[in-house]
Structure 1
Amino acid sequence: MLGHVSNVYFHPKIHEYALRLTNTFPGDLKVVYFVNSGSEANDLAVLMARVYTKRHNIITLKNCYHGMTYQTMGLTSNTCYKYAVPQVSGIHNAMNPDVYRGLWGGAHCRDSPVQTSRICSCAESTCQAKDNYIGQLQEIFKFNISKGQLAAFFAESIQGVGGTVQFPKGYIKEAYELVKENGGVFVSDEVQTGFGRTGEHFWGFQMHGIEPDIVTMAKGIGNGFPLAAVVTRPEIAQALTSSSHFNTFGGNPLACTVGIAVLDIIEEEKLQKNSLEVGTYLLKELEKLKSKYPLIGDVRGKGLMIGVELVDNDEFNSPLDKERFFKVWEGCRDLGLLLGRGGIDGNVLRIKPPMCVTTEDADFTIKVLDAILKQVK
């Protein structure tokens, strides 16, 4: 029955989990709100940001996905997830800093074991792609949002639904500085990148060298159980006390017990370390497949958050048509390999397996993809 008890009633497991979870965060990120899904978490983050800053404007990146409630549908920048209804106001979409498909990118842009095949002419310790994409973000402050009138900037540490898109090194850090200069809070969406999946860090934002103001999380937090959370600083949380806020089943005692068990298993089974080792191995093996099959335009990712973009074999690397993509996708399924699908054109294989997978599982993945790609002209 504890799963049906509102968190309005105090229970030791709620407090125990709140402490365990916030102890994984740096600095002053020590206040947590429990909800039930990633969409709910990002919806609450919008409210927090606007109440705290007393401002309305929010920036997200094109190609992003932040949920499917009415408000988070406005944050999301992908028409596949937008109904034909008036969208929420005050949302601005910046150019997506995609170093493979975007206007700028090179062979040294990513914080990843694998890179694009684009030519890079940057000097060491510089990134023209990053500078150009930051320039596009600055354009929003020049033409759309008056200085000091930003409420929040939302970003995934690596875009998930959008096709495992990684940004050029340094982009998020400079975007964070711009956000601060313009009075906003930085919201890191860790729904897919959190809990050690990227390998080197427990939270994806740590690879970018920032400490966000608000962090949202879901999916891996409960290993399939309906649980999500928003973590923030005390002064931002204090702003919500101007009115009453609660979530009936968010963070109920049963959900919190599940959350504690997930943290225990990640630690005891060293799943973050496993994500780094197996993920890096799989990425490098996928890169070898890329050199073998022109249909693979790009391999990207970090840890066990991996994307393989399939393209037509033409001079433009056009997205692979749906018919052939489905031959690959469903062919893998028929051989026992379940992969996700993503990207604005639906041509990216999303590989985000359980964090307990082994190198043998990685070898099986390569074997299946090799067999299927041979059959697709």
Structure 2
Amino acid sequence: MRCLRNLRLALPHTRPDVRAASNASSSRPASTVAMPQCDDGPAKYKGPAYDEVRRIRAENLNPALLTHFSKPLLIHQGHMQWLFDHEGTRYLDLFGGIVTVSVGHCHPKVKAAAKDQLDRLWHTTNIYLHPKVHEYAKRLTDKLPGDLKVVYFVNSGSEANDMAMMMARLHTGRHDIISVRNAYHGASPLTMGLTAHGSWKYNVASASTVHHAMNPDPYRGIWGGHRDSPVQSLRAHESEVKGGVCSSSDKYVNELHEVLRHSIPPCGPAAFFIESIQGVGGSVQFPLGYVKKAYELIRSKGGLCLADEVQSGFGRTGEHYWGFEGHGVVPDIVTMAKGMGNGFPLAAVVTTPEVAATMGKALHFNTFGGNPVSSAVGLAVMDAIEEDGIMENSLHVGTYFLKELEKLRDKYDIVGDVRGKGLMIGVELVSDRTTQEPLPAPQVMQIWDHCKDRGVVLGKGGLYGNVIRIKPPMCITKEDVEFTCHVMDQVLEEHMNREGQ
């Protein structure tokens, strides 16, 4: 197995003058630590001018589109963990296209697989036979435990969760589904009902038979809790762990039971949806033992258990290929997307033959799901995860990252919580540690902007938009972590001085 460092060294180098130009910007604030080197540089930008792009976006694109940063980046090119803007300025990408670039921007193996398939066959239909979708289906289902052996290829996480909802309802003959508050499962008309984030919900009728249980959050939840993370919440002392199970998990599961008692008809629920680690919700983890106990409760009522692996799958949590494995459970249905295609539109629903048989009662077809190019890309991503040691890198670099961020939490009261596993990390910013009052949005934006200005692109999430989301391409190094933590330290210190805190 080649290490990531060797992989990067094996990539083609550009001329030294190009590389040097991409490593610096006269407008970038001075930092006490140098940005790690990159072995590639951008081609000359030939697109429309920055102001023209902003005008087109304002007049011709979806007006609800989020635009990150006060002055948005015009991204021109990507290379592994790096992004280049239209002026050639380089940035360390710690958000990975919203947790989507898994093995690296323009990864050479994935790029080669896509090009090779484009030269052979772009698209036909799964009504005919083509080899790649069959190779991929076998390879993917071999990575899943138990009887999870039937895959439905689709194009996005929302589409996967939408289909999983229908599948569970058809199989059980029931309609009521439970998810937890603070969850994000998509924004289609159906999945908007599963999502329990008010800022993502339109004032339209959505799934009326979806219910939201209390979120078992070890940081903000009523009973706190211990989580599967190298860094525990400052509230961990409010609970205890025995036999690998946190004492707060029973209390949160009882609240789930209350939803069943009060909101679900006597026939029982169709399904229970849960992420292994909440993504858009701000990298929230659950108390040890909660997910397993919740699965047991739902199954005792005849419901199916669904794992949303859209963000936490494909090695991101480090110890396991799938996030749910860290909870010691095997779901009935698994949904996946994002890192599955390393940025290529690719998603899937995987279930058991028994559940899949229900879907055979009518014709079902997806025009683009599992098309030849997407299947070739998916196979290459799985190859890269294995050959580059991506999962191991997530574990070791992610753990190092979390422990370094813990030092920032101990240094600055503005950092209320550091959490996560592998390279799925959240840093929650607060204005008051005692009350957990979220840091006001303008201050979060200022910190966010100043990190970007120093070359670090971070994500943002949580119900209050106060959680820094760190979910980078999983090829980042310890040098990248050290650079990031130096930048965050500098920005947080300047912020505290500016605010007089």
TM-score range, shorter chain: over 0.9
Tell me the distance in 2 between the aligned counterparts of 1:88 and 1:162: 20
Partner of 2:264: 145
Partner of 1:73: 192
Scaled by the length of structure 1, the TM-score of the pair is 0.97
What is the deviation of 1:124?
3.5
SS at match of 1:49: helix
Tell me the distance in 1 between the aligned counterparts of 2:453 and 2:231: 28
Partner of 1:357: 476
Scaled by the length of structure 2, the TM-score of the pair is 0.74
Partner of 2:227: 110
CA 1:368 to 1:135, structure 2 compared with 1: closer, same or farther past 3 Å?
Answer: same
Cα RMSD, aligned residues only? 1.1
Tell me the distance in 2 between the aligned counterparts of 1:103 and 1:170: 17
What is the deviation of 1:4?
3.4
What is the deviation of 1:3?
3.4
Tell me the distance in 1 between the aligned counterparts of 2:127 and 2:323: 31
Partner of 1:205: 324
What is the deviation of 1:315?
2.8
Tell me the distance in 2 between the aligned counterparts of 1:302 and 1:366: 17
What is the deviation of 1:241?
0.8
What is the deviation of 1:130?
0.8
Tell me the distance in 2 between the aligned counterparts of 1:146 and 1:172: 23
CA 1:121 to 1:174, structure 2 compared with 1: closer, same or farther past 3 Å?
Answer: closer
- Which segment drifts farther, 52-61 or 7-16? 7-16
What is the deviation of 1:120?
2.7
Asked whether the equivalents of residues 174 and 267 of structure 2 are also in contact (C-alpha less than 8 Å), the reply is no
SS at match of 1:142: helix
What is the deviation of 1:61?
0.4
Asked whether the equivalents of residues 147 and 182 of structure 1 are also in contact (C-alpha less than 8 Å), the reply is no
Partner of 1:124: 242
SS at match of 1:366: helix
CA 1:146 to 1:208, structure 2 compared with 1: closer, same or farther past 3 Å?
Answer: same
Partner of 1:27: 146
CA 1:123 to 1:257, structure 2 compared with 1: closer, same or farther past 3 Å?
Answer: closer
- Which segment drifts farther, 199-208 or 4-13? 4-13
Indicate the structure (1 or 2) with the bigger Cα radius of gyration: 2
SS at match of 2:222: coil
Per-residue CA shift, 1:144-182, capped at 9, x if unaligned?
113442101000000000000000000000000011011
Structure 1 residue runs of 4+, over 6 Å off? none
What is the deviation of 1:7?
2.2
Q: How many equivalent residue pairs? A: 375
Partner of 2:375: 256
Partner of 2:485: 366
Tell me the distance in 2 between the aligned counterparts of 1:50 and 1:112: 34
SS at match of 2:370: coil
Letter in 2 for 1:242: K
Partner of 2:437: 318
Q: Does 1:57 align with 2:176?
A: yes
SS at match of 1:19: helix
- Which segment drifts farther, 284-293 or 6-15? 6-15
Asked whether the equivalents of residues 269 and 298 of structure 2 are also in contact (C-alpha less than 8 Å), the reply is yes
What is the deviation of 1:129?
1.4
Tell me the distance in 2 between the aligned counterparts of 1:336 and 1:147: 56
Asked whether the equivalents of residues 429 and 439 of structure 2 are also in contact (C-alpha less than 8 Å), the reply is yes
Per-residue CA shift, 1:322-348, capped at 9, x if unaligned?
111011111111111111101001000
Asked whether the equivalents of residues 164 and 306 of structure 1 are also in contact (C-alpha less than 8 Å), the reply is yes
Per-residue CA shift, 1:52-105, capped at 9, x if unaligned?
111100000000000111101111011111111112221000000001011111
Partner of 1:306: 425
SS at match of 1:60: strand
Gaps of 5+ in 2: 1-117, 497-501
